[in-house]
A and B are shown apart, each in its own frame.
Chain A
Amino acid sequence: VSSAVREIVQEHGRLAVDLTTLPDDASLYEAGMTSHASVNVMLALEDAFDVEFPDEMLTRGVFESVAAITAALQKLHVQAA
């Protein structure tokens, strides 16, 4: 799951740094992801994993890092892609 998440963040997160240099728990916001970009990341995740993030999961923390996103997807019962 986390490698698929990395691909999506790479494509839609508009980071200021190369994601491959960051560990899973690095802050994506500190790496330059804007809240607008995080919406696109969420939409792309929903499309890729065929899930819907319920409103209560749409918090800054859930999209904070690759690890946080992966954990959130696992909470939504996404199996390893």
Chain B
Amino acid sequence: MTSVASDRDAAFLASIAQIADDVARANSDDVDRNARFPVETIDALREARVLSAFVPEELGGDGVSLRAIASACFELGRRCGASGMVLAMHQIQVVTIVRHLDAQGADSFFHDYVRSVASEQRLIASVTSEVGTGGDMGQSIAALTPNADGTASFEKQAPTVSYGGYADDLLTTLRSGPDAGPGDQVAVLTRKDQHALEQNGTWDPLGMRGTCSPGYVVRATLAPEQVLAAPFTEIMTESMVPVSHILWSHLWMGVATDAFDRARAFVRAAARRKPGEPIPAALALSHVMRDLSLLRAEVRSALDEFLAEDDRERMATMAFALRFNNLKLAASEQAPRVCQGALNVTGIVGFKNDTPYSVGRHLRDTMSACLMVANERIHQTNAGLLLIAKEV
């Protein structure tokens, strides 16, 4: 990395650290308690131009590296899991669009769109899951349907759209046409003035409460140029899936790290009060450290492997798919394990929601990890791949 690029990353991460410590931390309990959108944090991210951080400089962004984006998800996750998740999901859409811009040709709708993400700090949500597909992201029921005037429309029943009510724009997966098979998909980008969200159901979940992710019926009309041109399977395997798993696992690691830090502070406070006396919780803390270091090792090595081998052909291999599916399985199981261990250390003081050592929110937030693309669905995919893959 050149020094200009690393300076840019450092400046970006300094502003993230400040927002995490000053804004996200101050609001995290209220966001959680009231299941409300972390509006202060997202406003601060907009102010600091974080929403376009990954956009190349020639398109008006800051050209920050994916490694720095991952670190940002980790840092924000440490202070507010829901804010970290909103940042991660937005960046997944940005990274996905930017990584496949070349397929659009020069000066496309998407080039202009990415410029507007930078100039207007537009927040992008995704509409991927769908009622009736059994959680399989590789299949759609809703179809992009051409209209007589050259535009196209769709209607999609989404069981959840994270921060759907707060996003400017939506990236939606659909069947490519009314006659297309369930796996023949496209991704389309619609602006707020092109789609309508009809909320169905409420949002009062166990964790990640600030992501505000109720179900919606999404209806939109768009121009054909708003369809991502790259083949959807490439978009999925090269970007959407591995980048999701990398950024999600970083923010889960952030939440788990804060739970560990709280458990450690708890043990240290006990040790200071009575130096020399045995502290049973200190031993329990060592178990939590082991679980956290396994999580760190997996998350960091996966990011290193992705960056070292940003080779699109390799990304089409089964070994690559298995690698990043396993990152998701491992991180989503390990993060709540760390939080549960932290609760074991802190006991009733951690169980209560209003102490400096509270870890309930952390445990609840990380329990969502195994559901975001259900782990059993991923195991099903892996099971199929393992039957035929030679190199794993």
Contacts and interface: CB of A to CB of B under 8 A. Distances in A.
Interface of A is mostly: helix
B276 A47 contact: no
Chain A, interface residues (CB within 8 Å), range? under 10
A43 B276 CA distance: 9
Chain B, interface residues (CB within 8 Å), range? under 10
Interface string A57-72: 0000000000000000
B275 interface: yes
A44 B275 CA distance: 6
B390 interface: no
A72 to B, nearest CB: 16
B383 to A, nearest CB: 46
Contacts of B276: 12, 37, 40
Interface in B258-278: 268, 271-273, 275-276
Contacts of B272: 43-44, 46-47
Nearest to B276: A40
Nearest to B277: A40
A11 B268 CA distance: 19
Interface string B273-311: 101100000000000000000000000000000000000
A40 B271 CA distance: 8
Contacts of A39: 275
B267 to A, nearest CB: 11
Interface in A4-44: 12, 37, 39-41, 43-44
Interface of B is mostly: helix
Nearest to B273: A47
A46 B272 CA distance: 7
Contacts of A12: 275-276
A18 B354 CA distance: 45
Contacts of A44: 272, 275
A39 B275 CA distance: 8
Nearest to B269: A47
Nearest to B275: A40
Nearest to A44: B275
Contacts of A47: 272-273, 275
B283 to A, nearest CB: 16
A43 to B, nearest CB: 4
Nearest to B270: A43
A39 B282 CA distance: 14
B271 to A, nearest CB: 5
A58 B55 CA distance: 44
A43 B268 CA distance: 8
Contacts of A37: 276
A35 B99 CA distance: 55
B339 to A, nearest CB: 24
A42 B142 CA distance: 64
B279 to A, nearest CB: 10
Given A43-B268, A46-B272, 12 more contacts: A12-B275, A37-B276, A39-B275, A40-B275, A41-B275, A43-B271, A43-B275, A44-B272, A44-B275, A46-B268, A47-B272, A47-B273
Q: Ordered nearest first, which 10 A-B pairs have the shortest CB separation?
A: A40-B275, A47-B272, A43-B275, A40-B276, A44-B275, A43-B272, A43-B271, A12-B275, A46-B272, A47-B273
Interface of A: 12, 37, 39-41, 43-44, 46-47
16 contacts: A12-B275, A12-B276, A37-B276, A39-B275, A40-B275, A40-B276, A43-B268, A43-B271, A43-B272, A43-B275, A44-B275, A46-B268, A46-B272, A47-B272, A47-B273, A47-B275
